[in-house]
């Protein structure tokens, strides 16, 4: 219950230097701020969603500088001093969607969209590690996110077909390729 929850000590604020989507930010944070608090609160990047805040839903997924998926709700912001991360806002370039984003649109891998930024970041992390992922790679890479709406079926279809959307123009809208 809330009443019993211990509020962590406020601690001393410190300056966090963090590169987000290529831009350097310097923000004052306390030890109890998570990376997600900083992304959404201090930096106002609302694309990354906040769900459970306890690592169980995956909607807060962002990338570290190696393009690996990180649950930003679980990690204290100050541990990221001097690091570089990518959020959903950093996937597109010049207003053009990344292939995985385009694949999500075309394959209807997005419904309510609340999980979508986290699911897409997880999906992109799979592709960063294995450009041609096998079924098991996709299953493992998406294991930490829950998409209640799509049942992951079209999400997996979009990940399998993302390569088709590389280089801009993709196949016909609403296409299904397997």
Partner 1 sequence: MTDGRAPPPGPGLGVIGRRQPRLDGFDKVSGRSVFADDIELPGMLHGRILRSPHARARIVRLDTTKARALPGVKAVVTNGDAPDLVFSERQPLLAKGFVHYVGEEVAAVAATDPFIADEALRLIEVEYEPLPAVTSLRRALQPDAPLVHEWAAGNVAVTHDRDFGDPDAAFAESDLVITDEFRSPVQHNTLAEFHVAIADFSNPDKLHVWTPTQSAPMYQMALAKAFGLESSQVRIVYGNVGGAFTGRGRAKPHHFVAALLSRVAARPVKIKATADEEFIMFRGSGETLYRFRTGVTRDGRIRALELDVTFDAGAHAEWAMILWLPALYPNWLYRFEGLRYRGRFVYTNTVPKGSNHGGIMGRMSAGWMQHLTRVAEELGLDPAEFHRRNAIEAGDHARDGSDFGSCGLKECIDRVVERSGWQVKYGRLPPYRGIGIGIGAQASGGKNASNDTSAAMVKIADDGRVTLFTGIPDLGQGSWTVMAMIAAEVLGIEPADVNVVGGDSDIVPFDWGAFSQRGTFMTGNAVKVAAEDARAQLASVAAAALGVQAEDLVFAGGRVHIRGEAPDAPGRSLSFREAVAKAFHGGEGRYVMGRGFFNSPRQSGSMAFSFGAQVAEVEVDPESGAVRVLKVTVAHDLGRALNPLAVEGQLDGQVFSGLSQVLYEECRMDAGQVLNPSRLEYKLPRTWELPEVDYTLVETIDPYGPFGAKEVGEGPIVVTMSAVAAAVANALGEPLPQMPMTPWRLLRVIRHHRRRRARGAPGAAPR
Footprint on this chain of partner 1 (rule: CB under 8 A):
1-7, 10, 32, 40, 44-57, 59, 87-89, 91-92, 97, 101-102, 104-106, 108, 110-117, 120, 136, 138-139, 142-143, 146-154, 156, 173-176, 178
Total residues found in the chain within this entry: 178
Stretch that binds ligand FES, among 13-21, 23-31, 128-136, 143-151 (CB under 6 A): 143-151
How is residue 76 annotated by DSSP?
A: B
In this structure, are residues 36 and 73 in contact, taking their beta carbons and an 8 Å threshold? Answer: yes
Instruction: Select from 31, 32, 47, 56 the one that contacts ligand FES (CB under 6 A).
Output: 56
Distance CA 136, CA 120 (A): 17
Structure tokens at 90: 């950093």
Structure tokens at 132: 């041609």
Q: Does 110 bind ligand FES (CB under 6 A)?
A: yes
Q: Does 103 bind ligand FES (CB under 6 A)?
A: no
Distance CA 55, CA 74 (A): 6
Could you tell me the smallest distance in angstroms from the CB atom of residue 68 to partner 1?
18
Phi/psi at 25 (nearest 5 deg)? -120, 145
How many residues bind ligand FES, per CB under 6 A?
23
Q: Does 112 bind ligand FES (CB under 6 A)?
A: yes
Distance CA 9, CA 25 (A): 25
Binding site for ligand FES (CB under 6 A): 50-53, 55-60, 71, 73, 110-116, 147-150
């Amino acid at each position: 219950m809330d009443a019993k929850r211990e509020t962590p000590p406020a601690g001393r604020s410190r300056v966090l230097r963090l590169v987000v989507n290529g831009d350097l930010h310097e923000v004052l944070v306390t030890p109890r701020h998570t990376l997600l608090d900083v992304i959404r609160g201090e930096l106002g990047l609302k694309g990354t969603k906040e769900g459970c805040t306890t690592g169980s839903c995956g909607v807060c997924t962002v990338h570290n500088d190696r393009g690996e998926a990180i649950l930003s709700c679980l990690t204290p912001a100050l541990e990221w001093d001097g690091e570089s991360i990518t959020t959903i806002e950093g996937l597109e370039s010049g207003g053009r969607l990344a292939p995985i984003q385009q694949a999500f649109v075309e394959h209807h891998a997005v419904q309510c969209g609340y999980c979508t930024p986290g699911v897409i970041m997880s999906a992109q992390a799979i592709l960063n590690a294995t450009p041609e992922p096998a079924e098991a790679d996709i299953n493992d890479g998406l294991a930490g996110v829950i998409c209640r709406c799509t049942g992951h079926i079209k999400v997996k279809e979009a990940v399998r077909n993302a390569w088709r959307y590389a280089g801009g123009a993709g196949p016909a809208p609403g296409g299904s390729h397997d």
